[in-house]
Chains A and B, each alone.
Chain A
Amino acid sequence: MATSDSPGQGEVVLSFVDVAKTYPDGTTALEHVDLEVRRGDFVTVVGPSGCGKSTLLRIASGLEPHTAGTSTVDSRHLGYVFQDATLLPWRTVAQNVELVAELSGRPKNDRKAAAKDAIDLVGLTGFEKHLPRQLSGGMRMRVSLARSLTLAPDLFLFDEPFGALDEITRERLNDELIRLFSTQRFGALFITHSVSEAVYLSTEVVVMSGRPGRVVQTFDVPFGYPRSPDLRFTPEFAALSGEVSRALREGHS
């Protein structure tokens, strides 16, 4: 597998050219969207609520057809972390983590091992036998993350995975995600409402307009990995966040 250390060099895993989506009821969710994610890119999309961010991911994953343009996803394994953890409440943590490997027909021993590794990676060792309802929101998200990690995805789609969590948990999970990203180097397309989360995580921030969603502006994020939580308090970070926020405001009006 070709792994690259700097963004913009890995093979292209997702490419959108002039993609548009109009739902059957006539709602136009997306218009003229161009987007590219390579392995080793962490692309974050910020945009106002209802601008079609989830739609974007659903198209990328093939769950929803687009109505114009071309969308190419060149990834053998796709990770998708939904807005909710979508765990099966009757399955234990370990069984939940095994689920997608199970659905992809991987042999039992293989997926057990993969699940164990993934559980270790997200720091849930010791909770294998817990049921989802015994976990906090943050832990559920980790299970969801681990579930996708078992596939060793080339492309990871995240739909506001930490949106429902408190600030502290969110920041901690951000750091863990960065750690995972710097070791696994998948391509990531990450949706968020939070400008600071976007800048903190990504190699590239894409700002979308209000509905119908279009790409208003794209920002390269110059900070290297691994990133320290203190990055958030540097002037460079503040300056870039300011620019992203401004683009977001302008795109909204």
Chain B
Amino acid sequence: MSLTDSPAEAAPDEIVAPGPPAARPRRRIRLRSWLPPLLVFVALVALWYAITYGVLDEQRRFLMPPPDLVVTDALFDRTTLERMLVALGRTARVAFVGLAIAIVIGMAWAVAMSQARWVERSLFPYAVALQCIPILALVPLIGFWFDFGFLSRTIVCVLIALFPIVSNTLFGLQSVDKGQRDLFALHGASRWTTLRKLEFPAAMPAIFAGLRIAAGLSVIGAIVGDLFFKQGDPGLGILIDNYRARLQSPELFLAIIIASLFGIAVFTFFGWLANRVVGRWYDTSKAG
């Protein structure tokens, strides 16, 4: 979106890029971009019904309860819904705290690497290692060391969310245009000034792209940690596991849907935030 305050001064000799498009066509575009996914959604629900009633026989219908059963048995059941929302709250807290810590550590890590080649050479392999080691394999160890509470869950979350922040921030800081670097060097800008006034703002689009991925991962991390620890106050992960074990499929489906919607909401929020912060000068749809 390009919301800019174009002054109403007399038009100059040269061509100016158009300001924000008028509201009406934009609304039409919005409708046009909502409609297809909506149709797909309807088709998916139809497919769901088809499988429930067409493919599965009576005894196996619990594998895929019809959507209306999910709504009536789980969503409209006060206690079930309440339990799920409380679990969602716990999971969300782990995800957000984990994400916040990952942001602080990840950015500091990337800035340190951007300041000197030798720091990058010494630390980057570990960022890559973080991405390569199966964090799930570490989860039991983390539980072993830090117990099975909030702390361990948060640590799992941080480990999972860290890499995209480190790599995207570093990439952003290093992808500054050479001419702009020359300009800063020419006028005697210190390293700190260059970081603050050039590298950091220039890296913003990449940082936000990384944040978005990391935010999605932090939700996954929070649920996975929960699912693995199977102890402590239940978050969405434990609920999902319990419902699975007890074959409570409408509840299971609702929990999964809530977890998915939460992930989507977080992802969307960071997209919106990116657009707010850098959308003025950068086309965020390019950064994915």
Q: Give every chain B residue within 8 A of A86 (Cβ-Cβ).
A: 177, 179-180, 182-183
If A104-B188, A136-B16, A169-B14 touch, whether A88 touches B182 (CB-CB below 8 Å) is no
Give, as a whole number of angstroms, the nearest-CB distance from A26 to chain B: 21
Q: Does B189 contact A (CB under 8 A)?
A: yes
Q: Does B201 contact A (CB under 8 A)?
A: yes
Q: Give every chain B residue within 8 A of A217 (Cβ-Cβ).
A: none
Chain A residue at smallest Cβ distance from B19: A134
Check if A83 sits within 8 Å of B280, measured CB to CB.
Answer: no
Residue B182 contacts which of A63, A103, A104, A169 (CB distance < 8 angstroms)?
A63
Q: How far is the CA of A103 from the CA of B190 in the complex (A)?
A: 9
Residue A82 contacts which of B9, B183, B204 (CB distance < 8 angstroms)?
B183
Check if A134 sits within 8 Å of B4, measured CB to CB.
Answer: yes
The interface stretch among A125-133, A188-196, A199-207, A224-232 is A125-133
Residue B201 contacts which of A61, A88, A123, A134 (CB distance < 8 angstroms)?
A88
Q: Does B7 contact A (CB under 8 A)?
A: yes
Check if B12 sits within 8 Å of A130, measured CB to CB.
Answer: no
Q: How far is the CA of A127 from the CA of B14 in the complex (A)?
A: 12
Check if A90 sits within 8 Å of B12, measured CB to CB.
Answer: no
Chain A contact residues, majority secondary structure:
loop
Chain B contact residues, majority secondary structure:
loop
Q: Does A59 contact B (CB under 8 A)?
A: no
Check if B278 sits within 8 Å of A130, measured CB to CB.
Answer: no
Q: Does A216 contact B (CB under 8 A)?
A: no
Q: Give every chain B residue within 8 A of A139 (Cβ-Cβ).
A: 12, 14, 16
If A90-B280, A139-B14 touch, whether A100 touches B7 (CB-CB below 8 Å) is no
Q: Does A89 contact B (CB under 8 A)?
A: yes
> Chain B: how many interface residues by the 8 Å CB criterion?
34
Q: Does B184 contact A (CB under 8 A)?
A: yes
Chain A residue at smallest Cβ distance from B193: A103
Q: Give every chain B residue within 8 A of A138 (Cβ-Cβ).
A: 14
Chain B residue at smallest Cβ distance from A159: B179
Q: Does B108 contact A (CB under 8 A)?
A: no
Q: How far is the CA of A126 from the CA of B182 in the complex (A)?
A: 29
Check if A84 sits within 8 Å of B179, measured CB to CB.
Answer: yes
Q: How far is the CA of A166 from the CA of B130 in the complex (A)?
A: 51
Q: Give every chain A residue within 8 A of B137 (Cβ-Cβ).
A: none
Check if A100 sits within 8 Å of B183, measured CB to CB.
Answer: yes
Q: How far is the CA of A134 from the CA of B180 in the complex (A)?
A: 19
Q: Does B17 contact A (CB under 8 A)?
A: yes
Q: Does B57 contact A (CB under 8 A)?
A: no
Q: How far is the CA of A53 from the CA of B234 in the complex (A)?
A: 69
Pairs A–B under 8 Å by Cβ, sample size 12:
A86-B179, A89-B282, A102-B197, A103-B187, A127-B7, A127-B9, A127-B12, A129-B6, A130-B6, A135-B16, A135-B17, A139-B14
Interface residues of A (CB under 8 A from B): 58, 61-63, 78, 80, 82-84, 86, 88-90, 99-100, 102-104, 123, 125-136, 138-139, 169, 172
- Report, nearest first, the 8 A-B pairs whose CB atoms are least far apart: A126-B9, A86-B179, A103-B187, A136-B14, A134-B17, A90-B281, A89-B281, A103-B189
